[in-house]
Amino acid sequence: MPVPLPGQRLVYAWPGPPSLELWTEEVTRNGRSWLQHRLVAEHGTPGVVIVAVADGHFAMVEHFRPAAGRSFLEFPRGFGSPAGPGTDQEPALHDAGRELEEETGLQGTRFRVLGSVWADSSLLQGHAVVVGAAVARSAKPLARDGEIDKFRWVPVESFPDLMAAGEIADGLTLSAYAFWTAAGPPAGST
């Protein structure tokens, strides 16, 4: 557990998994002062979101989210590994491969970092690295971690319609889609 800085106070800690810490902090900025809350999951380790594509289809999972009280159609994702100072993209790429396999049973190739997103910059400490990958559509998907309700191959062109219908409404998935769209196809793909 980190040593609090002046003005910070640990309010709650849960050992996990995942480990959670709720902190309060006195903030003074531009002549105003307020008390801000900060939630730290897994010691602030970056998460990972995987945009896995096969033959014009996204590999997606249906996942029930108790906080929202509903299921969402999402890209596979999870917590990353502690990276330490001076590291490069390798931990995120490794974590993406691990999470993709845990949630779908699929093996990815051509992993590449597409960007980084803060899920809730007002409350959560930590970001998620968005990773693109290729997968084989002929592979048999199999949810392995027990958290996933269902696997789905989603045609890339139907993503906007599923957004409009509210079936895809998860912020990390929407952000990852934006990064994937902006990055374009990986080198060597057709």
Listed by start position, the domains of the chain span 8-43, 45-183
The neighbouring-strand residues paired with 74 are 61
Cis ω before 160 (30° cut-off from 0): no
Query: For residues 72 and 129, what is the distance between their CA atoms, to the nearest angstrom?
Result: 20
pLDDT digits (tens, 9 = 90+) for 154-173: 999 999 999 999 999 999 99
Q: What is the CATH number of domain 45-183?
A: 3.90.79.10
23 pLDDT more than 50: yes
pLDDT digits (tens, 9 = 90+) for 26-69: 988 899 999 999 888 888 888 999 999 999 999 999 999 888 99
Q: By the 8 A CB rule, do 108 and 96 touch?
A: yes
For 170-190, what is the mean pLDDT?
83
Q: What is the largest CA-CA distance in the chain?
A: 60
Q: Give whole-number Cα distances, 181 to 25, 41, 99, 161, 170, in Å.
A: 37, 28, 21, 15, 17
At 98 the pLDDT is: 93
Number of residues that make up the chain = 190
CA 124 from centroid of its chain's CA atoms:
13
